[in-house]
Amino acid sequence: MLVDNVYQLIGRTPLLKINIQVPKHSRIYAKLEMFNPGGSVKDRLGMALIQRGRAIGAIKENTTIIEPTAGNTGIGVALAAQQYQLPVKLVVPEKFSFEKQVLMRALGAQVINTPAEQGITGAIKKAQALHEEISNSYVPLQFQNPANPDVYYRTLGPEIIQDLGNQQIDAFVAGSGSGGTFVGTTRALQEKYPAMKAVTVEPEGSILNGGPEHPHRIEGIGVEFVPPFFKQIHVDQVKTISDDTAFQYVDWLAKNMGLFAGSSSGAALAASLQLAEDLPEKSTIVTVFPDSSERYLSKHIYD
Ligand code: PMP
């Protein structure tokens, strides 16, 4: 495969059949988003946010892009902004992985840390304050930008349908941070399979199932507020997964399938296996593995 630039490599990731004993002889397939050039599902979003910003006239020459992010969206935005030589400032709560912050800087972005205890809400406030200070700046704001679910509706969903050669899909399982991946992909898949169940995944410590808010080791998913995009679909179920369970499957994937999957992938697999118990025999479940474990080695992901 000959390509002209790295940006062309975003999307069209492989769909892997997970070789694990699934309850009721069902099947689980996972979209391997670590194969994007920036290493995560959020490369798709980074490019979409920059392109939409340009299309609506919010991004002009030399506009400073400012975005609050847990990390992967920051890498995606930095990658996309580079193509248009735009300066980038990423606001990242301190708790998120060192590797992701190093990669953002490697791509030319400036990283601004906010206190861990203020969570993503603190990062959003700081991004808005920077926007007021810096003239010719733009905050795409993944948490409410329609380009977020839309890019998954346009790319990830149709790719899955194509990967499976129009084989019926009974359930789609995906973690939610901003909710963009889950909502956009669900919309695309339910257009073709209206009876498909839409199940999202959160770590213990996230608020969707009403549990108390507390820190967790799983990165990239978990919310402090219900994602506004959830209004676009019917959420059939929320699976809440513990850190220990997610990390157990991260380990299982490396040992048994040769796959370096991040903790939100471990949580997605755990939730898919739990869901299989409630579905009819021989169901087809599709999930998303958003990134690789390699960006969490400093967080002792395999220890
Ligand atoms: N997993 C990881 C590792 C992520 O970085 C993200 C994005 N924060 C997600 C899952 C969730 O994606 P979304 O924001 O589309 O809900």
**Where does the pLDDT of residue 96 fall: very low under 50, low under 70, confident under 90, or very high at 90 and above?**
confident
Taking CA atoms only, the protein residue closest to ligand 1 atom 3 is 220
CA angle at 259 for the pair 1 and 263, rounded to the nearest 5°? 120
**Where does the pLDDT of residue 70 fall: very low under 50, low under 70, confident under 90, or very high at 90 and above?**
confident
**Where does the pLDDT of residue 211 fall: very low under 50, low under 70, confident under 90, or very high at 90 and above?**
confident
Mean pLDDT of the chain: 97
Average pLDDT of the residues in 213-237: 95
Tell me the domain boundaries of the chain.
6-40+146-299, 42-138
Q: pLDDT tens across 240-289, in order?
A: 999 999 999 999 999 999 999 999 999 999 999 999 999 999 999 999 99
Q: pLDDT tens across 148-181, in order?
A: 999 999 999 999 999 999 899 999 999 999 999 9
Q: What is the pLDDT of residue 303?
A: 87
Q: Is the pLDDT of residue 147 over 90?
A: yes
Q: What is the pLDDT of residue 97?
A: 87
* Dist CA 133 CA 129 (whole Å): 6
Assess whether the region 6-40+146-299 and the region 42-138 belong to the same CATH fold. yes
Whether 177 contacts 210, CB under 8 Å? no
Q: How far is the CA of 125 from the centre of ligand 1 (A)?
A: 20
Sheet holding 88-93, edge to edge: 110-114, 88-93, 64-68, 137-138
CATH architecture for the domain at 6-40+146-299: 3-Layer(aba) Sandwich (3.40)
Q: Is the pLDDT of residue 100 over 90?
A: yes
* Dist CA 303 CA 291 (whole Å): 19
The one-letter amino acid at 230: F
Q: Is the pLDDT of residue 95 over 90?
A: no
Taking CA atoms only, the protein residue closest to ligand 1 atom 9 is 220
Q: How far is the CA of 220 from the centre of ligand 1 (A)?
A: 4
Q: How far is the CA of 66 from the centre of ligand 1 (A)?
A: 18
Q: Note the CATH number of domain 42-138.
A: 3.40.50.1100
Which of these is catalytic: 17, 24, 31, 42? 42
Taking CA atoms only, the protein residue closest to ligand 1 atom 1 is 220
> Global pTM?
0.97
197 given a catalytic annotation: no
Q: What is the pLDDT of residue 210?
A: 93
Q: What is the pLDDT of residue 19?
A: 97
The predicted complex's ipTM stands at 0.99
